Amino acid sequence: MNRVTIKDVANYVNVSKSTVSQFLNNRFDYMSEETKGKIAQAIKELGYQPNYIARSLKQKRTSTIGVIVANILHAFSTQVIRAIEDFYNEKDFHVIVCNADDDPEKERNYINMLQAKQVDGLIVFPTGGNMDLYQRMEEAHYPIVFVDRIIENININAVLLDNEMASSMAVEHLIEKGHDKIGIITLPIERFVTPRIERINGYKKAMIDHGLSIINEYVKGLPIHKIQEAVEELLVLKSPPTAIIAGNDLALMEILKVVRKQGIKIPDDIAIICIDDVSYANIFDPALTTIRQPAFGIGEKAANLLLDHIEHKSEFKVAKVYRFEPELIVRSSC
């Protein structure tokens, strides 16, 4: 079958090609409702599909952006992606989502692939393992925004939570509840992943500010598969913590597995608070106190920044870090 073109639609309705083009680009000034209806009906009856390749050549853009997530298993990541997709859907852009699995090599391959596909820009949750690639994109003024993480000495806009405030908020709430032996468990910190480092730093600052000792055994940055063992070790210490801060949703899940397995009562035996407002927080028994990230606001801000960079590339100069405030959601786990 021959491809249906704009000219075919125009001839079918007996209007000009430019009128059909204006309709396809949502430019309805001076266009009657009758004409719009006829064009819409013609597109449906003829089965017209826009030629995105031709459009991208004409507009010198593909109306496509790439999103590279460090780990798509995080609830926060999926919420940010949803916000980005919603934003660009309104702008008639397509979104390609890739999951790097916290692997710098996968991230590098995805960046190269998406640039080869000539996406107009990238939103990246950076692994931190591709400094040379980030540097080249910065020097080329390639439209890119970082989410959730900062890469030092790289002039790229970044949007993320105020992580130190989040963990400080958690510590202060636990202290108000009478706890002074407080631990924190998060994922590995060897690549200086921003939220993990900052949440531990915020925890330590809050403990010191309240005159509490920082006990090294209470502070854990571990791979997922080692967290349950670490929790078990904490619980059998001579002086175990009475409260634990889960650094994110994945760490929380591993902590709760030990709690269930050992029949530990929350908050009587141990209090728990998580920096991530997980979907099951309300229905877990007892309901879980959390620190909520404004994921949709973060995603929308990143999308807005990227679009602005795409449309005003030559004007882009100094990058900024945009911080969003966390929110304490008090429930029953502490």
**Backbone φ/ψ region at 148: left (φ over 0), alpha (ψ -120 to 50), beta:** left
What are the distances in angstroms from CA 11 to CA 6, 17, 19, 20? 9, 8, 11, 10
For the chain, first and last CA: distance in Å?
66
> How high is the mean pLDDT in each 10-residue block of the chain (334 residues)?
81 90 81 90 85 55 92 93 96 94 94 92 94 90 94 93 98 97 92 90 97 96 96 95 97 96 96 96 96 97 95 75 97 96
Q: What's the pTM value of the predicted model, to 2 decimals?
A: 0.82
Q: How far is the C-alpha of 162 from the C-alpha of 293, rounded, in Å?
A: 9
Instruction: Please give the pLDDT value at position 57.
Output: 47
Q: Domains plus CATH for the chain?
A: 6-50 (1.10.260.40), 62-161+296-325 (3.40.50.2300), 163-293 (3.40.50.2300)
